[in-house]
Chains A and B, each alone.
Chain A
Amino acid sequence: MISLRELTKRYGDKVVVDRLSVELAPGKVTGFLGPNGAGKSTTMRMVLGLDRPTAGRALVDGVPYAQLRHPMRRVGALLDAKAVHPGRTARNHLTAMARSNGIPLRRVGEVLETVGLAEVADRRAGKFSLGMGQRLGIAGALLGDPDILMFDEPVNGLDPDGVRWVRGLMRSLAAEGRTVFVSSHLMSEMQTTADHLVVIGKGRLIADAPIAELIDASSLTAVRVRTPQPDELEQQLLVAGMRVERRGGDELIVTGGDLDRVGGVAYQAGVRINELSPRAASLEQAYMELTASSVEFAAPAAPGAGGDSAAGIGEKERV
């Protein structure tokens, strides 16, 4: 379990991470989303004790990372760039890591096998492609068989096959009951992989919710209705406080109400319906909406936009 408590990082006047409080639960893939420069990598580096928080704490099972006796057996991490000396072979790199944490050396061969680098284990890492470097980083993260895994942009530089592999790996690690924390700017990737999302913008928490809830909360999540009496239905839906957008002759896109409510209004109005279907916002849309509002929060100093902002966003008026 990773807990961030009011975690803050400032560089001079610039606030990179702003009072971030999040708990990451085991058995789930938690996606960490945010635009570039939102503070994702800095947050992960603070969890690993590479950067010192200006204020607040990042705890692993209740203790700072630096106090863990065998950190690699608790937390496995893949950082954004290659953190490997190019002059070292993959095997030498992993052997040194294993020795530092008292991990049996047979694990080196095992993880090289897992990530598909067994055949190039004795080649120097400097000769590796970006994708191979990512795989070596993932091998390092898996080495200590940790309960918590953190991946910063793991699919960077991977070919489609590699992307699918990473996706499967993260799902199976979570299925084994581990905590999996993955940052990405690829919303589509998160939609297929993550169970839970932590979204930050300008260092602040925007949302911390199950992925389905975020999509539901999006004002772009709508109900699609086809009816031969669109004018009449639109009238009644507006009366009921929903918002309606006309599409073509017989199609209405309704927001601010769910299937039951729209169906109920139609029934009471005695309007015939040919189609009544949910139109889920894609994560991409939900995400754009969330981060767009983060810019609004961030304009003048407006404190108090912390953890409760996720709930508020879905009810924001569409402009």
Chain B
Amino acid sequence: MTMAATTHERRPAPRQAAGGGLPGAIAAEWTKLWGLRSTWLCLAVAVLATGGTALLAALALNAGDSTETLPVNALATTSVLLSQFALVAVAALTVTGEYATGAMRTTLTTVPDRARMLLAKAAVLAVAVSVTGLVAGASSIAATAGVFGDAAVFETAYVVHGTVGTAGYLLAVSLFTLGLGLVMRSTAGAITTAVAVLMAIPMISQMIGDETVTRIVDHLPATAGMPLMIGVDNPYGWGTGALLLAGWAALALAAGYAVLSRRDA
């Protein structure tokens, strides 16, 4: 019974020195992201909801019989008001979906380096969300141009803000949510917090109308996205907006990493 140790009859092992590491972790996360129906569904919803919202908003504006011209990206912030939450869901689920199902244990045994795992998840999410954001921004522009016809003004800056700016905002919001998901490990918690920060708090602050509150809320991601997507200098330039958004994403990811590396999986 115990003489087994002497009989080595192993197959030639498929052992290579190469592979794995960060590229391997990214490849694994890429495979996992697209292996879920929810990803495809949410990304499709994000694009359709952006275009749809833009279309409805454009029709409503046009019905007001305004003869003025309109930059093609004028409806960018309105169009992502709702659709951003489809991407928030994708971002949250990449981690909270794994915690909920126990798949995080597999992820962390295959890629035990926490920083590498987080970097891989963030990179894959960034690519998926950025491309979706570009398409979504383009669909908003298309809807606006379609409804307004000659009254829609095409300028390079407008188009860039409407597409790249929109993608940048959605990227920041997604990475922010990824961080929240790592901190909370709960889909409902992460999404609810994202909704509160991105929508509820700005709305409530508007109702309150207090100057101090408004000044604080102006630095939240929702407001910071406006100059980036629209290109107007209100309440600050798009550069400041981009920096603020990057800061929020970095803050959430740092908090997420702290929890990830300290708390048991």
Contacts and interface: CB of A to CB of B under 8 A. Distances in A.
Given A28-B5, A87-B37, A177-B5, A48 B264 contact: no
Interface in B1-27: 1-2, 4-11, 13-16, 18-21, 24-25, 27
Interface residues of B, number: 46
A65 B110 CA distance: 10
Given A88-B36, A102-B24, A66 B112 contact: yes
Nearest to B106: A83
A251 B29 CA distance: 68
Nearest to B6: A27
Given A51-B264, A70-B20, A83 B105 contact: yes
Contacts of B265: 45, 50-51
A109 to B, nearest CB: 12
Interface stretch (B83-91, B95-103, B250-258): B95-103
Contacts of B1: 195
Contact-residue bracket for chain A: 35 or more
Interface string A111-144: 0000000000000000000000000000010000
A69 interface: yes
Interface in B217-246: none
Interface in A165-180: 171, 174-177
B2 A210 contact: yes
A77 B2 CA distance: 23
A49 interface: yes
A99 B9 contact: no
B24 to A, nearest CB: 5
A312 interface: no
A145 B13 contact: yes
B227 to A, nearest CB: 38
A212 B100 CA distance: 42
A87 B36 contact: yes
Given A69-B20, A71-B110, A84 B103 contact: yes
A104 interface: yes
Nearest to B117: A100
A65 B111 CA distance: 10
A22 interface: no
Interface string B50-70: 000000000000000000000
Interface stretch (A90-98, A153-161, A263-271): A90-98
A195 B2 contact: yes
Given A85-B103, A97-B106, A145-B13, A175 B4 contact: yes
A274 B164 CA distance: 95
A48 B37 contact: no
A96 B19 contact: no
Contacts of B104: 83
B188 to A, nearest CB: 17
Interface in A266-319: none
Contacts of A163: none
A130 B198 CA distance: 41
Interface string A190-213: 000001000000000000001000
Contacts of B15: 73, 145
Nearest to A99: B27
B153 interface: no
Given A87-B38, A175-B4, A145 B14 contact: yes
B209 interface: no
B31 to A, nearest CB: 4
B156 interface: no
Interface in B93-140: 97-98, 101-106, 108-113
Interface string A244-277: 0000000000000000000000000000000000
B195 interface: no
A175 to B, nearest CB: 4
Contacts of B4: 27-28, 171, 174-175, 195
A210 B5 CA distance: 14
Contacts of A92: 31-32, 35
B102 A81 contact: yes
B28 interface: yes
23 contacts: A26-B5, A28-B2, A45-B264, A45-B265, A48-B112, A50-B109, A66-B112, A68-B112, A70-B20, A72-B110, A77-B109, A79-B102, A81-B102, A85-B32, A88-B36, A92-B35, A99-B28, A100-B20, A100-B28, A102-B21, A145-B13, A176-B9, A176-B10
Interface of A: 25-28, 45, 48-52, 65-66, 68-73, 77, 79, 81-89, 92-93, 95-97, 99-104, 106-107, 140, 145, 171, 174-177, 195, 210
Given A97-B28, A99-B27, 15 more contacts: A45-B265, A48-B108, A50-B109, A72-B109, A83-B102, A84-B103, A85-B36, A85-B98, A93-B106, A95-B31, A96-B110, A100-B28, A140-B106, A145-B14, A175-B9
Interface of B: 1-2, 4-11, 13-16, 18-21, 24-25, 27-29, 31-32, 35-38, 97-98, 101-106, 108-113, 262, 264-265
- In order of increasing CB-CB distance, the 5 nearest A-B pairs are A102-B19, A27-B5, A92-B35, A100-B28, A99-B27
